[in-house]
């Protein structure tokens, strides 16, 4: 009985549910066919409304405000545009609406500036805005930055970099790596003076402090003759070389009388003597780019500057470790380098003249491998000037050294063109004819034809004679100053991925930088900055440096060609400029505080694929003088991070638009380095 009752109740419930469903379906269809309007019930019911339903004021239902209106739903769904016109409303009876507010005014038109006109054609008539200095405050406050990792946005802070210990005031990372140097198997060939960079993760992560009492450097040309003692506080050179007229201490300054070990009466007199011995040298006309090996305090190069000769002075960081530091403090082109087991970081046929005055190098050791490196660097028809005791002293040991030198240079096909007093001058041949006519088996041999003499990054020295190009590249350059803007023949040897001719690229780069530097001079008053030591960190064909000369800025530029790009160094030297190969994922071979201006065009957007941008920025801070400036022209994508890193290093950072306007893909970051003390 219980089971039957239960089944009866269940059937009744199912039947009732079905009736309700049919009722709701009918109700919905009836009210959605457009024949009726929905009503809205009023919950406030009173006795009057119930007793007098005909009284309008007492109705307990109200009509929808959309009564007698129709809507096109499909148009509303598909319309994704935003209209400035406000939606119309149906006013209630007796209500007066205020007029709709006026539409907002259109945004101001963007002023288009740059090198493209309205037709997309290149236009040379553009202007650069006036210089507007800004100061970035709150150094040391972390700078927040959002980074997208997939669908997740993470925020991090670039914290302030701290100061390095006082012991690192003159730190050169790849030359002061004591741990790596101590593990060398041999040091007898000068290996300890070559590059030994810190391992990845053990590089510089702090700001190298200046010496106590550091002052703004004395400006050129006065700095050629004197610098502040407090900026390079090392008296050993003055003590060791005081009698040779290199350097003297006078109260709070070092003074440079212009002498050297072999020319104690002054560099000017010494240079006059060389030019009288061989007028064909023609300083500043035929000889434009020179190399001074074992340079001392670089007086040879300092005095050649007034004769329109750019001389790169090089010396190792040895017992006289501060000689390059003195040279750069004076405002003379210089870098730390040693001829030991690797090629120097310059291309073949780079220098018209290479000079060695008592440079303490045994040129004839190991089958003359060191002089063979000089031969690689020397331009066809160039000169090697040697001022040393074996040239003029008649002692058995020294005479034997002279005979060995003459024998080696003869086998190298060098011609001893002049020997007078303590100076001997050799000239390199113009072509390979002498090499090919030597007796079979003569040592040293010619290098393999497939050997690239311009491949220099960590390349071992080779005991062979570098072949000269059969096309005459390097030998037939024009004279200074016309060579600065003349596309050299070696331009054709540069591997460039372009449909344009190399000469067009060369001329376009020169024109571009001439206009840009002209804008910098007008807008940012570069002639008032007292620039002297300048580095272009990604030099291309050297157009930036050429523009600095054409705008009559009294400075010298070291053009750096990164290993990650095309090797354009031969073109740079053929133009009469200085350059060097470098990998910016590693530190540069110079002392701290040695450059007034660092210029980087498109460097970070390329190198960020290979190394951390903060690594490069910290190296820039190390080699930049307090009061110096960095100009970074790069893509918008890297600007935020560069700005954060600059602030974390204590720079005063400003990001500006390029001459192409605010919507260009490039911007310019300017960073001013201030003097920081512990």
Whether the Cβ atoms of residue 491 and residue 478 lie closer than 8 Å to each other: no
Among 305, 295, 284, 283, smallest CA distance to 221 is for 305
Among 260, 353, 338, 250, smallest CA distance to 299 is for 260
Residue 87 has a pLDDT of: 39
Residue 8 has a pLDDT of: 58
Among 583, 603, 359, smallest CA distance to 456 is for 583
Whether the Cβ atoms of residue 539 and residue 579 lie closer than 8 Å to each other: yes
Query: Which of the 8 DSSP states describes residue 460?
Result: B
276-286 pLDDT, tens digit per residue, is 999 999 999 99
Cβ within 8 Å of residue 393, ≥6 positions away: 399
Residue 592 has a pLDDT of: 97
Assign 3-class secondary structure to 526-547.
Answer: HHHCCCCEEEECCCCCCHHHHH
* pLDDT > 70 fraction of the chain, expressed in percent and rounded: 76
383-442 pLDDT, tens digit per residue, is 999 999 999 999 999 999 999 999 999 999 999 999 999 999 999 999 999 999 999 999
Angle formed by the axes of helices 502-523 and 543-550, nearest 10°: 50
649-678 pLDDT, tens digit per residue, is 999 999 999 888 889 999 999 999 988 765
Mean pLDDT by 10 residues, the chain (678 residues): 51 68 57 43 41 42 46 38 40 42 47 40 39 34 45 55 95 96 94 95 93 95 96 83 79 89 86 96 97 93 97 90 92 96 98 94 95 98 96 95 97 97 96 95 95 97 95 92 95 77 93 94 89 97 98 97 96 98 97 97 96 96 97 96 96 92 93 81
- Please tell me whether residue 610 adopts helix, strand or coil conformation: coil
The C-alpha atoms of residue 594 and residue 330 are separated, in whole angstroms, by 10
The C-alpha atoms of residue 114 and residue 123 are separated, in whole angstroms, by 8
Residue 476 has a pLDDT of: 87
Residue 237 has a pLDDT of: 75
Residue 245 has a pLDDT of: 76
pTM (predicted TM-score) = 0.78
CA distances from 35 to 8, 32, 39, 60, 650 (A): 41, 8, 13, 22, 76
DSSP string over 34-77 = SSS--EEE-S---HHHHH-TT-GGG-SEEE-TTTT----HHHHH
Per DSSP bridges, beta strands 666-672 and 595-601 are unpaired
Among 299, 303, 311, 307, smallest CA distance to 282 is for 307
Residue 238 has a pLDDT of: 76
The C-alpha atoms of residue 89 and residue 431 are separated, in whole angstroms, by 93
Whether the Cβ atoms of residue 158 and residue 647 lie closer than 8 Å to each other: yes
CA distances from 122 to 119, 300, 510 (A): 9, 46, 16
Residue 262 has a pLDDT of: 77
Residue 493 has a pLDDT of: 87
């Amino acid at each position: 009985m219980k089971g039957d009752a239960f089944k009866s109740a269940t059937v009744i419930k199912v039947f009732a549910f079905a009736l309700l469903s049919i009722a709701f379906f009918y109700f919905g269809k009836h009210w959605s066919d457009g024949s009726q309007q929905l009503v809205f019930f009023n919950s406030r019911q009173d006795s009057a409304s119930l007793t007098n339903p005909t009284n309008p004021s007492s109705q307990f239902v109200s009509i929808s405000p959309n009564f007698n209106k129709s809507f096109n739903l499909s148009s509303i769904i598909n319309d994704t545009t935003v209209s400035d016109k406000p939606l119309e409303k149906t006013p209630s009876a007796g209500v007066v609406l205020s007029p709709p507010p006026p539409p907002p005014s259109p945004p101001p038109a963007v002023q288009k500036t740059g090198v493209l006109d309205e037709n997309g054609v290149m236009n040379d008539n553009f202007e650069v805005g006036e210089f507007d200095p800004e100061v970035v405050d709150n150094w040391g406050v972390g700078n927040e930055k959002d980074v997208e990792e997939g669908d997740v946005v993470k925020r991090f802070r670039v914290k302030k970099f701290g100061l390095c210990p006082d012991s690192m005031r003159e730190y050169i990372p790849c030359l002061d790596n004591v741990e790596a140097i101590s593990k060398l198997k041999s040091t007898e060939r000068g290996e300890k003076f070559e590059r030994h960079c810190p391992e990845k993760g053990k590089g510089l992560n702090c700001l190298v402090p200046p010496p106590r009492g550091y002052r703004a450097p004395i400006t050129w040309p006065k700095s050629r003759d004197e610098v502040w003692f407090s900026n390079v506080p090392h008296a050993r050179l003055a003590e060791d070389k005081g009698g040779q007229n290199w350097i003297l201490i006078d109260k709070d300054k070092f003074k440079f009388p212009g002498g050297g070990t072999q020319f104690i009466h002054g560099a000017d007199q010494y240079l006059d003597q060389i030019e009288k011995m061989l007028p064909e040298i023609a300083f500043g006309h035929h000889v434009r780019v020179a190399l001074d090996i074992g340079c001392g305090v670089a007086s040879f190069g300092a005095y050649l500057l007034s004769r329109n000769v750019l001389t790169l002075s090089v010396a190792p960081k040895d017992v006289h470790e501060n000689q390059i530091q003195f040279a750069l403090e004076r405002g003379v082109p210089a870098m730390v380098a040693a001829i030991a087991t690797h090629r120097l970081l310059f291309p073949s046929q780079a220098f018209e003249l290479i000079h060695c005055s008592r440079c303490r190098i045994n040129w004839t050791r190991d089958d003359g491998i060191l002089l063979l490196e000089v031969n690689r660097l020397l331009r066809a028809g160039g000169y090697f000037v040697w001022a040393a005791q074996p040239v003029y002293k008649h002692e058995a040991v020294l005479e034997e050294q002279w005979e060995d030198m003459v024998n080696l240079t003869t086998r190298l096909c060098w011609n001893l063109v002049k020997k007078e007093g303590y100076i001997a001058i050799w000239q390199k041949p113009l072509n390979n004819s002498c090499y090919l006519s030597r007796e079979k088996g003569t040592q040293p041999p010619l290098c393999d034809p497939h050997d690239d003499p311009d491949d220099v990054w960590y390349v071992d020295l080779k005991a062979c004679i570098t072949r000269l190009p059969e096309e005459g590249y390097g030998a037939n350059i024009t004279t200074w100053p016309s060579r600065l803007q003349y596309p050299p023949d070696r331009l054709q040897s540069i591997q460039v991925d372009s449909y344009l001719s190399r000469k067009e690229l060369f001329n376009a780069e020169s024109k571009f930088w001439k206009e840009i530097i002209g804008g910098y001079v007008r807008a940012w008053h570069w002639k008032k900055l007292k620039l002297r030591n300048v580095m272009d960190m990604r030099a291309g064909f050297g157009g930036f440096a050429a523009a600095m000369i054409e705008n009559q800025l009294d400075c010298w530029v070291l053009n750096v060609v990164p290993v990650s790009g095309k090797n354009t160094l031969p073109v740079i030297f053929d133009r009469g400029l200085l350059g060097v190969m470098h990998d910016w994922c590693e530190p540069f071979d110079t002392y701290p505080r040695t450059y007034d201006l660092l210029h980087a065009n498109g460097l970070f957007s390329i190198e960020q694929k290979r190394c951390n941008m903060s690594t490069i920025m910290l190296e820039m801070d190390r080699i930049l003088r307090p009061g110096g400036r960095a100009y970074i022209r790069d893509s918008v994508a890297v600007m935020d991070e560069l700005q954060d890193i600059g602030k974390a290093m204590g720079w005063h950072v400003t990001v500006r638009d390029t001459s192409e306007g605010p919507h260009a893909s490039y911007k310019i970051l300017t960073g001013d380095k201030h003097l920081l003390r512990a």
